[in-house]
C-alpha cells in the first residue's frame, strides 16, 4: 500500500477534521496517517511526508515498512545526527518537527509511554543557520523582462506579464497567483487591490500599484470578467481555456522567460524577494512590509531582504588597501 496514494489523494481539498484513517491501514502505520491528516493543507501533507521519507531513509526504512510503534528517543536522535552531516539546520529541524508530530500520535494511540514521548519531545533543535537562498532581481532585469513581455504582445505574454506583476509588485507567492480568483480582485481604479489567501489559510489584502494594475487590466481584457481563477491555461493556438494554472506551471513559465531572455537564474519566489527588498529600499518600515508580505514574524521578513549583498559589494569596492 502506498502512503502517497492513501494520504495525498484521499486528503485533497478536505478539511483535516473530516477525514478518517482508512481501516485497511496497518496498525503500525496509523500514527503517520493520523499526523498527516491533522495538517491543515495538502501542501503541508506533501511537505511533511517528504520529510518523513528523508528521516526514515537514514535508518534504512520507508513509510511503508517502518512500524511507528517502535519509535523511541534514541531512534530519533540517531536520525537527527545523521541528517546533520548533510542537511542544513533548518531542514533538519523541519524533519525533527515532523517526527515529533508523529510521535504525539504514537503516544495518543498508547503505543509508547508518556515518559518515552516526553523524551522525544525534549530533543533540542539543531543550532546554526545557512545563507538564505534566492536573490532580488535588479531594476534593469525587471525593466528588460517587462519590456520583452510587452513587445511580444500575445495573449500568453499578457497573462505572463500579469502574473509577474502580481509577484513583483504585490508580493504574491506562485501558489497564491495560481489560486487567485477573479472575484477577489477589486478593479476600482481609485483603490485596486487583491484579497489573497496565503500560507496557514491566512487572508490578507494586497494593494496593487497603478503600473501593475494596468498590466493586470490588459490581461483581463483578453480573459473576460467571468468568475473563476484569474490566471487561466492557454492552448497552443492561443485560446484561453477555463482551467487555472498550477503553482508548478507558474514556475515553468518563469523559467521559460529566463531562458528566452538569457537572464541570470531566477525563480518566481525571487520576484517576491524583489518586492520585499524594494519596499525596504524605499524606506517602508519593516512592520508594514511584514504585513504586506503576509508574514507571521519580522524574522521571516528579514530573510527576504536582499539589499545587504549589494551594500557589502559597494563597501568592498571602496577598499583601496593594496593600491
Domains assigned to the chain: 3-121 (no CATH), 139-304 (1.10.443.10)
Q: Please state, in angstroms and rounded to a whole number, the distance separating the CA atoms of residues 45 and 32.
A: 11
Q: What is the mean pLDDT of residues 51-75?
A: 94
Q: What is the mean pLDDT of residues 126-139?
A: 85
pLDDT exceeds cutoff 60 at 159: yes
Taking Cα atoms as reference points, which of 15, 14, 7 lies closest to residue 45? 7
pLDDT exceeds cutoff 90 at 182: yes
- Which residue matches cell numbers 513587445? 151
pLDDT exceeds cutoff 70 at 58: yes
* Model pLDDT, residue 174: 95
Q: Please state, in angstroms and rounded to a whole number, the distance separating the CA atoms of residues 271 and 207.
A: 16
* Model pLDDT, residue 64: 86
Taking Cα atoms as reference points, which of 35, 92, 100 lies closest to residue 73? 100
* Model pLDDT, residue 2: 56
pLDDT mean across residues, the chain: 88
Q: Which of 61-75, 84-98, 123-137, 172-186 has the lowest mean pLDDT?
A: 123-137
| Per-residue confidence band for 3, with pLDDT thresholds at 50, 70 and 90 | low
Q: What is the mean pLDDT of residues 194-207?
A: 90
Mapping DSSP to helix (H, G, I), strand (E, B) and coil, where does residue 285 land? Answer: coil
pLDDT exceeds cutoff 50 at 10: no
At 277-313, the pLDDT tens digits run 999 989 999 999 999 999 988 888 888 887 777 777 7
* Model pLDDT, residue 17: 41
- Which residue matches cell numbers 552531516? 85
Residue 205 DSSP class:
E
Q: Which of 203-212, 224-233, 308-317 has the lowest mean pLDDT?
A: 308-317
Q: Which of 122-131, 180-189, 301-310 has the lowest mean pLDDT?
A: 301-310
pLDDT exceeds cutoff 70 at 4: no
Contact (CB, 8 A) for 104 and 144: no
Contact (CB, 8 A) for 40 and 16: yes
| Per-residue confidence band for 240, with pLDDT thresholds at 50, 70 and 90 | very high
Q: What is the mean pLDDT of residues 39-57?
A: 91
- Residue 133 CB burial class (10 angstroms; 0-12, 13-18, ≥19): exposed
Q: Please state, in angstroms and rounded to a whole number, the distance separating the CA atoms of residues 303 and 68.
A: 36
Give the count of alpha carbons within 13 A of 268, CB side only: 26
Q: Please state, in angstroms and rounded to a whole number, the distance separating the CA atoms of residues 79 and 98.
A: 12
Mapping DSSP to helix (H, G, I), strand (E, B) and coil, where does residue 203 land? Answer: strand
* Model pLDDT, residue 18: 41
At 13-35, the pLDDT tens digits run 444 444 444 544 577 788 999 99
Contact (CB, 8 A) for 140 and 148: no
Amino acid at each position: 500500500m502506498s502512503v502517497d496514494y492513501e494520504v495525498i489523494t484521499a486528503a485533497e481539498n478536505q478539511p483535516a477534521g473530516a477525514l478518517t484513517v482508512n481501516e485497511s491501514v496497518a496498525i503500525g502505520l496509523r500514527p503517520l496517517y493520523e499526523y498527516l491528516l491533522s495538517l491543515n493543507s495538502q501542501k503541508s501533507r506533501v511537505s511533511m511526508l517528504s520529510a518523513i521519507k528523508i528521516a526514515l531513509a537514514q535508518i534504512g526504512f520507508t513509510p511503508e515498512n517502518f512500524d511507528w510503534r517502535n519509535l523511541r528517543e534514541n531512534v530519533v536522535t540517531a536520525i537527527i545526527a545523521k541528517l546533520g552531516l548533510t542537511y542544513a539546520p533548518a531542514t533538519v529541524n523541519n524533519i525533527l518537527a515532523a517526527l515529533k508530530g508523529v510521535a504525539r500520535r504514537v503516544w495518543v494511540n498508547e503505543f509508547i509511554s508518556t515518559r518515552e514521548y516526553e523524551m522525544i519531545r525534549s530533543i533540542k533543535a539543531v543550532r546554526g543557520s545557512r545563507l538564505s537562498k534566492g536573490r532580488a532581481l535588479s531594476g534593469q532585469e525587471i525593466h528588460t523582462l517587462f519590456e520583452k513581455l510587452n513587445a511580444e504582445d500575445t495573449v500568453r505574454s499578457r497573462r505572463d506579464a500579469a502574473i509577474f506583476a502580481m509577484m513583483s509588485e504585490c508580493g504574491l507567492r506562485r501558489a497564491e497567483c495560481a489560486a487567485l480568483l477573479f472575484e477577489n480582485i477589486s478593479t476600482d481604479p481609485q483603490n485596486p487591490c487583491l484579497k489573497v489567501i496565503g500560507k496557514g489559510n491566512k487572508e490578507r489584502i494586497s494593494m496593487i500599484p497603478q503600473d501593475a494594475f494596468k498590466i493586470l487590466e490588459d490581461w483581463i481584457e483578453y480573459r473576460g470578467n467571468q468568475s473563476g481563477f484569474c490566471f487561466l491555461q492557454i492552448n497552443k493556438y492561443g485560446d484561453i481555456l477555463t482551467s487555472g494554472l498550477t503553482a508548478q506551471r507558474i514556475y515553468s513559465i518563469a523559467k521559460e522567460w529566463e531562458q528566452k531572455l538569457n537572464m541570470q537564474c531566477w525563480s518566481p519566489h525571487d520576484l517576491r524577494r524583489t518586492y520585499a527588498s524594494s519596499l525596504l529600499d524605499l524606506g517602508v518600515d519593516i512592520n508594514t512590509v511584514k504585513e504586506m508580505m503576509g508574514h507571521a514574524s519580522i524574522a521571516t521578513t528579514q530573510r527576504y531582504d536582499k539589499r545587504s549583498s549589494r551594500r557589502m559589494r559597494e563597501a568592498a569596492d571602496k577598499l583601496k588597501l593594496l593600491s
